[in-house]
Amino acid sequence: MGPGTYAAVFAPLATAGRAEVITRRFTDAISLGVLPDGLMLPSETELSDRLGVATVTVREALGTLRGAGLIRTRRGRRGGSFVCSPADGGRSALLERLRGLGQGELRDLGDHYASIGGTCAALAARRADAADVARLETLAPAVREGRVASEWLRAEGTFHLELAVAAQSARLAREEIVLQSEIGPLLWLAHAHADAVEGAASSHENLVRAVARGDGDEARTLLERHVHQLVQALRPLHHEARRSR
């Protein structure tokens, strides 16, 4: 996992002062494995500075994460807040979020994500250096190594985050994180649910080849197609979640 992926989790919030935004971002980062089990989080003061919010807002978000069992807090000299990866890979939390979306909202989120991701792919084809391409080549087939949903989620999310980093645009990398918090993990869950691991790996590999040869138009097309396929794969799960309300 490249340093850009981890750093993006702690990028300043677009909407300051909202504990629920912090909670959702960290829930997804833990579910995707960007923040691994046992990791010690920065202090409340440091999180406040890095996220650009008040300390009380950070404290509220950490309290929610603690109540959900996603972090544990230890007091004393060696104390702090530590990540606790959920046993189900975050599936329950993702299904609950999916349940609250309407069909139109799901489609719009998919369109927005395809647009941003497509731009990242096109720019990566123009700007990625050899190290960026090598990292993407390593990450592209990682979904094949997954055996459980959390591993598929992590592989998908990490690949798309690193693609955004390869675009060499700080704003787009931050937008990628924001959109992943809204729909990204749901799309990765759809892939795992649809048992489309081989298709995901092939899509990634084709995309990296387009980036490596500098074909921005093809990279954009492949990324957009990949996202729209994920949205289609998500629809049966969305119907199932809505019926269970």
Per-residue pLDDT tens over the stretch 127-140: 999 999 999 999 99
- φ/ψ (deg, to 5) at 85: -65, 130
Please name the residues in contact with 242: beta carbons below 8 A apart, sequence gap of 6 or more: 99
Q: Which amino acid is residue 127, in one-letter code?
A: R
Q: Whole-angstrom Cα distance, residue 115 to residue 43?
A: 35
pLDDT recorded at residue 150: 67
pLDDT confidence of residue 83: 95
Q: From first to last of the 245 residues of the chain, give the pLDDT tens digit.
A: 455 556 667 766 655 458 888 888 888 788 767 788 899 999 999 999 999 899 999 999 999 999 989 999 998 777 899 999 887 767 777 787 888 888 899 999 999 999 999 999 999 999 999 999 999 999 999 988 877 666 777 788 889 999 999 999 989 988 888 787 778 778 877 776 556 788 889 999 999 999 999 999 999 999 999 999 889 888 888 888 787 76
Please give the pLDDT value at position 16: 47
CB 102 within 8 A of CB 109: no
pLDDT at 2: 52
Phi-psi sector, 37: left (phi>0), alpha (psi -120 to 50), beta: beta
Question: What's the confidence (pLDDT) of residue 75?
Answer: 86
| The pLDDT value given to residue 152 | 78
pLDDT at 3: 57
